[in-house]
Amino acid sequence: MESHALDSLDFHTARALLEWQVELGATEACLDAPVNRYETPKAAPKPKVQAEAPAPVTRPKVDPVAIAREAAGGAKTLDDLRAAMGRFDHCNLKKGARNLVFSDGNPAARVMLIGEAPGRDEDREGKPFVGRAGHLLDKMFGAIEMGRTVPLSAQSIYITNVLPWRPPQNRDPEAEEIAMLKPFLERHVEIVAPEVIVLMGNIACQAVLGRKGITRLRGNWQEAFGKPVLPMFHPAYLLRQPSAKREAWADLLSLQAKLRDLA
Ligand code: URA
């Protein structure tokens, strides 16, 4: 009987047929095709698991400048602005910094100073210009009877930096870093609303005026944020080049004259 015919039999019919064959003298059950029982069975081929191609990750494109603009735009006060900067996670400098260095001095001051970025001392203390360059800066402004701790707004200064986080090894800030933090700087200027801005060094000039070349720029009044802006040598440069203090002194006198004119 062909095996495929047996497939369709029910149990009892198949059993009756088998018993009948035994009665006829059958001693062995044979299949239609011979079977070599000494052959080792081939390992069943493993089912091929098709590696599924990972679904393409489509990350939403972020525009850190637009995010910074929105965050800064929502700040009504300096405290709001500081908090908004603290929440901004798109600048890698933040990861390596101990503190956000926001500002120092009197927010009611007529003069706002913009430096470059915190160094080691500033990063540690959370205040701008507290290291060697900061001491020189205090002396320079002290020479025209101005300072960050002076309560009178006419004689006080307010200090911030282009970047609130220390770049590793004090390297120059990258253009991308400057661009993404500029909306915060713009809002900072809007909230403080100083009469005059002093840009300390090349990086501040690059960020605010879009130009470098402090040797040419210094001492020449410019306009930015709708205000008179004076580029000056950075005090860290004056520490390395004391002979440039002569020009720095001329610039301080120019600032004094401007404040007198505007008063
Ligand atoms: N140099 C800067 O430009 N800013 C600081 O706060 C300290 C050093």
Q: Which of 100, 116, 177, 178 to mutate to test the pocket of ligand 1 (most atoms within 8 A of CB)?
A: 116
User: Cβ(161) to ligand 1 under 6 A?
Assistant: yes
User: Cβ(119) to ligand 1 under 6 A?
Assistant: yes
Q: Which two tokens stand for residue 87?
A: 């929440």
User: Cβ(129) to ligand 1 under 6 A?
Assistant: yes
**% of the chain at pLDDT higher than 90:** 76
Q: Does residue 31 surpass a pLDDT of 80? A: no
Q: Does residue 3 surpass a pLDDT of 60? A: no
What is the spatial distance between Cα 141 and Cα 129, in angstroms, rounded to a whole number?
A: 13
- What CA–CA distances, in Å, run from 82 to 77, 120, 188, 243? 9, 20, 9, 37
Is the CATH number 2.60.410.10 carried by domain 64-262?
no
- Which of 44-58, 72-86, 187-201 is least confident? 44-58
What is the spatial distance between Cα 196 and Cα 229, in angstroms, rounded to a whole number?
A: 6
Q: Does residue 46 surpass a pLDDT of 90? A: no
pTM for this predicted structure? 0.79
Mode of pairing for the β-strands spanning 104-105 and 196-200: unpaired
Q: How confident is the model at residue 40 (pLDDT cuts 50, 70, 90)?
A: low
Question: What ligand 1 atom has the least distance to the C-alpha of 115?
Answer: 3
Query: What is the pLDDT, as a whole number, of residue 130?
Result: 98
Q: How confident is the model at residue 52 (pLDDT cuts 50, 70, 90)?
A: confident
Query: What is the pLDDT, as a whole number, of residue 30?
Result: 65
Q: Does residue 16 surpass a pLDDT of 70? A: no
Least Cα distance to 192 among 115, 81, 101, 90 occurs for: 81
Q: Does residue 56 surpass a pLDDT of 90? A: no
Cα 38 to ligand 1 centre (Å): 87
Q: How confident is the model at residue 10 (pLDDT cuts 50, 70, 90)?
A: low
Q: Does residue 6 surpass a pLDDT of 60? A: no
Query: What is the pLDDT, as a whole number, of residue 53?
Result: 77
pLDDT tens digits, 99-123 = 999 999 999 999 999 999 999 999 9
Residue 111: count other Cβ atoms within 10 Å of its Cβ. 24
Q: Does residue 11 surpass a pLDDT of 80? A: no
Q: Does residue 243 surpass a pLDDT of 70? A: yes
pLDDT tens digits, 156-212 = 999 999 999 999 999 999 999 999 999 999 999 999 999 999 999 999 999 999 999
Query: What is the pLDDT, as a whole number, of residue 44?
Result: 64
